[in-house]
Amino acid sequence: MEGGFCARKRLQTLHARGPGMSDGDILRDALESAQHIAILIADPGGRIILFNQGATNLFGYTEREAKGKNIQDLTFSTEDRSSHLFEEILDALRTKGRAGGRYLRRHKNGKQFSTISNFCSLRATNGKYKGILEVAQEMPPDLLNLERELKISKNFMLNILESSIDAIVTTDMKGKITYVNRAFRDLIGLPGYQIIGKHISLYYKDGIEQARRIMKKLWEMGRIRDYEFDMKVGERIIPIRTSDTLLYGDHGEVVGTMGVFQDITDRKKLLEELSITQAELIQAVKMKALGDLVTGVAHEINNPLMASDTFLHLMEEETRHSPTLQKRVSLLKKCNLRIKNIVKKLKAFSMQAEMAFTPMNVNEAVTSVLEIIQQQALNQCIEVRCNLREDLPEVLGDKNQIEQVLLNLISNACDAMEKSVNKVLTVSTDFDPKVRQVKISVKDTGIGITEEQIEQIFNPFFTTKSTDKGMGLGLSICYKIIEAHRGKIEVKSKLNQGSDFIVVLPYQIGSCRVRKPFLEGGEADAP
């Protein structure tokens, strides 16, 4: 009430003075009438020239005490003085002509409080910068409380965004990044200040085209869920699943976008491994069915073989006096024996069990597989050459699994030579005592493999064959088997010049040696 009474009294005085009163006196009285609004005028450097009664009421200094003092030194808090806030205000006044906001100020008695202040530059008629005008008012308690609550809410929301395990990014309508959370910064591998302001398409593998595709979907639907694409960060390609939405302003206008990115590298790898496991399970079921079938067929074959052996034994007695007939009977007996050996090896090979690592003879595994595929090679007019080293050391492995690998490699070699004129399959074994490794080479004269295909042949479901000859799991399974044996498979190939698959297995010093070599073209010793 007192302030209002004083203001009315000054206005009455203004009217009483009449037209002879100067403009300076009128301005001075108007400024002094503002009891609850601090009005300060300073030179371009901030030294106070005018300090009205409202400023005295707000800051506690008289006009005489304030004149000549710097606004910053007299009224700003210690924290704001040390942060060079007033220098920023002066710079804004020189460049933009105005500045303002909430500032922490200091009373003469040391008490700190907040003001809402507006600064503007004072200029002469010629535009020259002459000084500063500040109009300030103490922030009302209810507004201060509201600001405090808004700040708490903002910090709470920021903490939620920063704590998210998913990468969150917002952009303006031009696609420039306006905010990134910690997960996004970790994904990109850069601090926030190096990301903010850049175009989001810089981190898309397909660049601006990908950004346009996402934006088109957003304009059509307002939001998108579980959209997958690839990001590119340096040399890394990161598969991403994103959910995006449009951001709206106070009046319902679209002001930007927000995206929540999930790095699905591990998920895709897990799904791929699951697909491989399912395929291997199907393969295992097939092998089990094949084992049951082989067992039944072996039983059916063995019965007539027993009868055939019996009759051949009788015929051998009856043809004692005919060398020609005896030779034929002997040949038939050898054929029966060969049939028995093949059936025996098929039964052993089809028995699927868990890996059992025992000292094994690699040469025996090779000869066992060659006996199984010998007829296939004969039917395809393939010449089989063997070069197995006699003093080969034993390796620790699962014989049945190694045979499965060799059977797959040799079958692939035979298929690769289907259209070749010169069909030669060369299987050889060797070892290197320096690195303690046994090597098995399966070499063909087939169509060969391109460099691009070599990089993919061990991937699941990759195949160069037609669909009726397999689904591309053979080499993938072979790779895993040899990997489980702590070995590796090497490939050397040139297009139309054949391929050489080399299986490398480690061995220990002091392992046993093979006593009998496999003689090329002769009968193989049964394992």
Q: Measuring CA to CA, which residue among 188, 185, 181, 191 is closest to residue 158?
A: 181
Q: How many CB atoms lie within 10 A of CB 421?
A: 6
The helix (H) or strand (E) run that includes residue 502 is strand 499-506
Q: How many CB atoms lie within 10 A of CB 179?
A: 16
460-495 core/surface letters (b: 16 or more CB in 10 A; e: else): beebeeeeeeeebbbbbbbbbbbeebebebeeebee
Token digits of residue 26 = 């009128």
242 and 166 Cβ atoms separated by less than 8 Å? no
What is the CA 455 to chain-centroid distance, rounded? 20
CA R_g for the chain: 45
State the Cα–Cα distance between residues 359 and 410, nearest whole angstrom.
23
State the Cα–Cα distance between residues 514 and 390, nearest whole angstrom.
6
The helix (H) or strand (E) run that includes residue 214 is helix 207-221
State the Cα–Cα distance between residues 229 and 224, nearest whole angstrom.
13
pTM for the whole structure: 0.41
* Residue bearing tokens 């696609």: 175
User: What's the burial of 412, exposed, middle or buried (CB within 10 Å: 0-12/13-18/19+)?
Assistant: buried
pLDDT at residue number 286: 62
Token digits of residue 90 = 């002066």
271 residue type, one letter: L
Residues facing residue 237 across a β-bridge = 232
| Residue pLDDT, tens place only, 340-393 | 776 766 666 555 555 678 898 899 999 888 887 887 788 888 999 999 998 899
User: What's the burial of 420, exposed, middle or buried (CB within 10 Å: 0-12/13-18/19+)?
Assistant: middle
pLDDT at residue number 26: 56
pLDDT at residue number 108: 93
Q: Which domains does the chain have, with CATH numbers?
A: 34-139 (3.30.450.20), 163-263 (3.30.450.20), 266-352 (1.10.287), 354-527 (3.30.565.10)
418 and 385 Cβ atoms separated by less than 8 Å? no
* Low-confidence residues in the chain, pLDDT < 70: 1-34, 144, 279-280, 282-295, 299, 342, 344-355, 458-474, 509-527
State the Cα–Cα distance between residues 267 and 452, nearest whole angstrom.
26
User: What's the burial of 270, exposed, middle or buried (CB within 10 Å: 0-12/13-18/19+)?
Assistant: exposed
| Residue pLDDT, tens place only, 127-167 | 888 999 999 988 877 776 777 777 787 777 778 888 888 99
pLDDT at residue number 527: 30
360 and 397 Cβ atoms separated by less than 8 Å? yes
Phi–psi pair at 112, nearest 5 degrees: -105, 145
What 3 state SS string does 141-159 have?
HHHHHHHHHHHHHHHHHHH
pLDDT at residue number 523: 38
* Residue bearing tokens 């479901």: 461
Token digits of residue 157 = 């929301």
State the Cα–Cα distance between residues 397 and 357, nearest whole angstrom.
4
- How far CA 73 is from CA of 86, 112, 118, 358, 420, in Å, comes to 10, 14, 18, 87, 95
Indicate the DSSP class of residue 140: P
